[in-house]
Amino acid sequence: MLEKKIAALLNEQVNKEFYSAYLYMDFANYYADAGLDGFAHWYEVQAQEERDHALMFRRYLLDNGVRVTFGAVEKPDSTFENAMEPLKAGLEHERYVTSLISVIYAAAYEAKDFKTMQFLDWFVKEQGEEEKAADDLIKKMKLFGGDPKGLYLLNQELQARVYAPSTTGPAM
């Protein structure tokens, strides 16, 4: 049995993860329009992972007897001036998601809900990896993005990202 407050926070996180997917598809829209199909592809894969995160939270709630409710997904309001801006917005967003996971973790800790803490452990690790991936993209863009040939090669590198459902994460 999950505490009401914990269940509510986890249910909110379902929405936040779907929003992350929506946001990253919005980034992909921007890059597709700009002709950077590799960048677009990278964010399409990222969006699939975020959808998976949403499903993991949903599954955990269902498996614990909680009636899941879906809220409206917020509209991404991003307008970008250049190809660097989505990357920076992506890092900022991942830091925000990390803060949300921390809030749920802290609530679970306070409630001595060790099961939920254990469930969240994977997300804590995942957030560390996602923040690093977002930061790495910014670094690469700074190094190579200013030169058309460099940008072309970086676009090709990002095109190679392959979506694979997590084999280590919670069930969906």
In the complex, minimum distance from the CB of residue 152 to ligand FEO, in angstroms, rounded to a whole number: 27
Which single residue brings its beta carbon nearest to ligand FEO? Answer: 53
In the complex, minimum distance from the CB of residue 50 to ligand FEO, in angstroms, rounded to a whole number: 5
Contacting residues toward ligand FEO, per CB under 6 A: 17, 20, 50, 53, 94, 97, 130
The residue (of 18 and 30) whose beta carbon lies closer to ligand FEO is 18
In the complex, minimum distance from the CB of residue 148 to ligand FEO, in angstroms, rounded to a whole number: 30
CA distances from 5 to 15, 96, 108, 120 (A): 16, 20, 9, 15
The residue (of 87 and 97) whose beta carbon lies closer to ligand FEO is 97
The residue (of 20 and 155) whose beta carbon lies closer to ligand FEO is 20
Contacts 24+ apart (CB under 8 A), 72-77: 73/15, 73/18, 73/19, 73/22, 74/19, 74/22, 76/19, 76/22, 76/23, 76/26
